[in-house]
Amino acid sequence: MDAGPALVSILRQGDFLIASIHTALDDSQMVRFQHDLIDQVGQHRSRGVIIDVAALDVIDSFATSTLRNLAEMARLRGARTVIVGIQPDVAFAMVELGMDTGRVETALDLEEGLQRLAGGAGSPSARSRSAGA
Amino acid sequence: MTQDMPTSEDPSADFPTLDREDEEQLLPQLVAHLREHRTRLRQDWAGRISEAHLLEAMTPQEMAAETTSVYDNYVEVLETGSVEALQHYARDLSERIIPRGVETHEVVGIVLLLRDVLARSLFEKYQRDFGLLNRVLDAYEPAANRIANTVAVSFVDERERVIRQQQDSIRELSTPVLPVRERLLILPIIGVLDTERARQLTEQLLGAIRTHRAKVVVIDITGAPDVDEAVANHLVRTVDASRLMGASVIITGLSPEIAQTLVTIGVDLSKMNTIGDLQGGLEEAERLLGYSVSRDDETGG
């Protein structure tokens, strides 16, 4: 239990939860992370979850399916999930190996992810039109 | 029996001059002969070359100059037994003539012709003495073979070096990733995509998405002559990977032929956002990013 906080941090930011994975997790740590996060979604009544995987050099099939399940569970509990910070190599390896994140949203980095959640119904154009032009 | 032996060895006994020392003298003799008749033999050779319609890309003057130096190099190799200088020369020669479209068979052809011309002249000189002729040819043939081999290998090596160099420069030129607007990248694909290039292209694109924080990427394949199944699948994977990094991809410039090919081979392109031409792709990208471009009537009209 005490190793948990060092590997993953889950922060609350308004209506959103920001979960950063700091280091490679093994399968059991991954499962515990999933539990913790879903617990907190209910606890804080969050509307959105951002999972930052920028620190990971490898995302294996178990991690992919866990993330996919996590997003689905969060959706069932009323939160939208965005995965951010997938590295170029990792992205291509995932695709090469046929690991599919399904309908989970992805964004470049934390900032993008927050904007996407704040922007509402997943259409980036609406937000950036008001901000940009 | 033992007494019969000398008689069976008689033929060689007829040529008492051919002991070991003389054999070592053979090559120098031969070289001297070739030097002596240099002009005539070289002309013979040049005549044979033009008869065979080889090296027609070169002017007569160039031919004369090159044949002279090839001849001299040839004789020198026979004399010294070292092919190093010839290798150098052959490489230089190849460098000069490859851009003019000289083919491998021509180069090999002229060297074999020279070998033949010289061999004939040796036949002529030693024809009265078959034993000696045999020895001369024994000395000549291996050296001549080595020369032909050296020249051909040098030529092919040089050619391969040129091809490698060109491949490198094509590779460097081939995959520019251009930022056009904030968070919008264009990736024009020019030329044939092979597996290696496709891999490199994906790598560069994903890197650029991160560097430029791109949200939309337009991949324009107007310049790609053909797309096969492997490349199409690779494009699909590139699109997926870009999506994982938070960028959406628009593919433009699918020619009617390519569209037909893709449908026929059944690549699943349902997840790809495709638009007819680059202009349409850019407009769509701008729409996704929330840009609206309007012409200023005062300057525009």
What's the rounded Cα separation, in Å, for the pair A108 and A106?
7
Could you give the 3-state DSSP secondary structure of residue B17? coil
- C-alpha B193/C-alpha B195 separation (Å) is 7
Per-residue pLDDT, averaged over A114-120, amounts to 83
Same domain, yes or no: B157 and B192: no
Amino acid at residue number B143: A
Q: Which helix or strand (DSSP H or E) is residue A51 part of?
A: strand A48-52
Q: What gap in Å lies between CA B39 and CA B31, rounded to an integer?
A: 14
- Tell me which residue range forms the domain holding B63: 14-170
What is the pLDDT at residue A18?
94
Contacts of B243 in chain A (CB under 8 A): 106
| ipTM passes above 0.85 | no
Residues B162 and B226 in one domain: no
- Picking from B202, B246, B287, the nearest residue to A125 by CB comes out as B287
Pairing label, strands B248-252, B216-223: parallel
Residues 77-96 of A with CB under 8 A from B: 83-84, 86-89, 91-92, 94-96
Domain count, chain A: 1
pLDDT score recorded for residue A131:
38
Residue B81 shares a structural domain with residue B124:
yes
Residue in chain A nearest B243 by alpha carbon: A106
Task: Give A43: exposed, middle or buried? Use CB within 10 Å, 0-12, 13-18, 19+.
Answer: exposed
Would you say residue A37 lies in a domain? yes
A86's tokens = 């997938």
| Strands, sheet with B248-252, edge to edge from the N-terminal-most edge strand | B178-181, B184-190, B216-223, B248-252, B273-275
The residue whose two tokens read 């509307």 is: A47
- Based on the domain organization, do B66 and B101 belong to the same domain? yes
Report the candidate in B146, B144, B156 with the shortest Cα–Cα distance to residue B103.
B156
Q: For position B69, which CATH number holds?
A: 1.10.490.70
Does the pTM surpass 0.90? The reply is no
Residues B183 and B166 in one domain: no
Domain boundary among B123, B142, B170: B170
The number of helices, as runs of H, and strands, as runs of E, in chain A is 6, 5
Bridge-based pairing of strands A80-84 and A105-107 is: parallel
Domain contains B88: yes
Checking if the pLDDT of A4 tops 50, the result is: no
d(Cα B178, Cα B219) in Å, to the nearest integer?
Answer: 10
Q: State whether B76 and B194 are in the same domain.
A: no
Query: What does the pLDDT look like over A6-65, one tens digit per residue?
Result: 688 899 988 899 999 998 888 899 999 999 999 998 888 899 999 999 999 988 888 888
In percent, how much of chain A has pLDDT > 90?
25
Dihedral angle over CA of B53, B59, B63, B66, nearest 10:
-130
Question: Under a CB-based contact definition with an 8 Å cutoff, are residues B186 and B220 in contact?
Answer: yes
The pLDDT of residue B299: 66
A128 in a structural domain: no
Which of B204, B205, B245 is most worth mutating to test chain A (most A CB atoms within 10 A of its CB)? B245
Nearest to B237 among A83, A95, A106 (CB): A95
Report if residue B2 sits inside a domain: no
From B213, B245, B290, residue closest to A128, measured CB to CB: B290
Give the mutation candidate from A56, A97, A108 for the B interface (greatest B CB count, under 10 A): A108
Chain CA centroid to CA B182, Å: 42
The CATH code of the domain that includes B211 is: 3.30.750.24
Is A122 among the domain residues? no
Mean pLDDT of chain A: 82
The first and second tokens of residue B194, run together, are: 């092979």
Domain annotation covers residue B298:
no
Q: Final residue of a domain: which of B170, B190, B207?
A: B170
* Last residue of one domain, picked from the residues B170, B188, B221: B170
Residue A100 belongs to a domain with what CATH number?
3.30.750.24
Residue B92 maps to a domain:
yes
Contact list in A for residue B291 (CB cut-off 8 A) is 132-133
CA distance A108 to chain B (A): 5
Flag whether B154 is in a domain.
yes
- What does the pLDDT read at residue B174? 65
Query: Closest Cα of chain A to B56: distance in Å?
Result: 52
| pLDDT at residue A82, as a whole number | 93
Does the residue A126 lie in any domain? no
Interface test with A, best of B244, B273, B286 (most A CBs within 10 A): B244
Residue written as token pair 């000549």: B140
Does residue A50 sit within a domain? Answer: yes
Rounded to the nearest angstrom, the minimum Cα separation between B170 and chain A is 24
Q: What is the mean pLDDT of each run of 10 residues along chain B (301 residues)?
A: 44 45 71 86 86 82 83 84 82 83 84 88 85 84 86 88 84 78 90 80 89 92 81 85 91 84 78 86 90 76 49
E strand or H helix that includes residue A19:
strand A16-21
Beta-bridge partners for B130: none
Hey, is B181 helix, strand or coil? Answer: strand
Domain count, chain B: 2
In a domain, B55, yes or no: yes
The strand pairing partners of B273, in sequence order, are B250
Residues in chain B with CB shorter than 8 Å from the CB of A89 are 206
Whether B102 is covered by a domain: the verdict is yes
Query: Same domain for B57 and B194?
Result: no
Q: What is the mean pLDDT of residues A112-123?
A: 74
Expressed as residue numbers, the domain containing A18 is 4-117
Q: Quick check: is B7 in a domain? A: no
User: B133 is written with which tokens?
Assistant: 């002729």
**Rounded average pLDDT over A57-80:** 89
Which residues on chain A are in Cβ contact (under 8 Å) with B246?
A: 84, 106-109, 112-113
C-alpha–C-alpha distance, residues B274 and B283, integer Å: 12
DSSP A108: S
Nearest to B245 among A88, A127, A133 (CB): A88
Q: Which one of B207, B247, B291 has the shortest CB-CB distance to A133?
A: B291
